[in-house]
Amino acid sequence: MGSRRDIERLIAEGRVALGGQPLASPALRLASLAGLTVDGRPVGCAAAARLFRFHKPPGVLTAARDPAGRPTIYDVLPPGLPRLIPVGRLDLMTEGLLLLTNDGGLKRRLELPASGLLRTYRVRARGRVSEAALDALAEGVTIDGVRYGPVDARLDRSAPGRANLWLSMTLAEGRNREVRRLCQHLGLVVSRLIRVSFGPFELADLPPRGVAEVPASALRPFLGPA
């Protein structure tokens, strides 16, 4: 029926009832959905968990809506998809693999640091960096009082006389703008940032704005109690 906050709002508006009596609080544990209604309509069982790979283009927000009117992923997703929520997020100008799911429990399990899922990014940046500086990131680094965990960083391509270089960076935490801050720490200016994998799920040859469903068999390790 909606996200946790959506449901809390529905309850506050008196639209959720159990046995005909409106609920006054979301603090209620249910043994079953029997007798539960929203706007008088019975609530059915949740659909099976599904996961989709989406190639997010740059310039769109990972959000349901934006007060400033900027486009969001929901403005560019193709029609005909179920209601989906993002697993984590990519910032406005970051492109590449964004996972989308219809299941809140699956979302939480994929996002939890305990899952140990690595995220890999390809980075185009201006500047120069030594192999030693990249190797030092494997021990983690503190930037402006914030501790970032180990990062596997390597130089993919750099040509003499050219301003741009390409890096690959793999990390586990995925904090807000982490890759951009790490590059700034190295004296690099990011001009393009692409996430190419999230755990076992890869962007591969999915085109920009393209969506592909992950086979149900690939979800089995991530299903179960959050």
pLDDT higher than threshold 70 for residue 159: no
Instruction: Check residue 151 and give its pLDDT.
Output: 95
Residues 6 or more apart whose Cβ sits within 8 Å of residue 162:
none
pLDDT band at 2 (very low <50, low <70, confident <90, very high): confident
pLDDT tens readout for residues 182-191: 999 999 999 9
pLDDT higher than threshold 80 for residue 162: no
The encoded tokens of residue 7 equal: 């449901």
Residue length of the chain: 226
d(CA 187, CA 160): 18
Mean pLDDT, residues 97-122: 92
pTM over 0.85: no
d(CA 164, CA 124): 7
Mean pLDDT, residues 112-117: 86
Question: Could you give the percent of the chain with pLDDT greater than 90?
Answer: 77
Mean pLDDT, residues 115-126: 94
The encoded tokens of residue 160 equal: 């003499």
Residues 6 or more apart whose Cβ sits within 8 Å of residue 161:
none
Closest CA to 173 of 202, 137, 206: 137
pLDDT tens readout for residues 59-108: 999 998 899 999 999 999 999 999 999 999 999 999 999 999 999 889 99
Which one is predicted more confidently, 103 or 163? 103
The encoded tokens of residue 53 equal: 């790979």
Instruction: Check residue 158 and give its pLDDT.
Output: 65
CB-CB contact of 164 with 126 (8 Å): yes
Instruction: Check residue 160 and give its pLDDT.
Output: 60
Per the annotation, the verdict on 91 as an active-site residue is yes
Instruction: Check residue 163 and give its pLDDT.
Output: 75
Mean pLDDT, residues 110-115: 87
The per-residue DSSP string of 61-107 comes to BSSS--TT---BHHHHSPTTPPP-EEES---TT-EEEEEEES-HHHH
The neighbouring-strand residues paired with 167 are 123, 155
Domains of the chain: 4-42 (no CATH), 51-115+200-215 (3.30.70.580), 119-198 (3.30.70.1560)
pLDDT higher than threshold 90 for residue 198: yes
pLDDT higher than threshold 80 for residue 175: no
Q: Which of the residues 6, 39, 75, 91 is marked catalytic?
A: 91
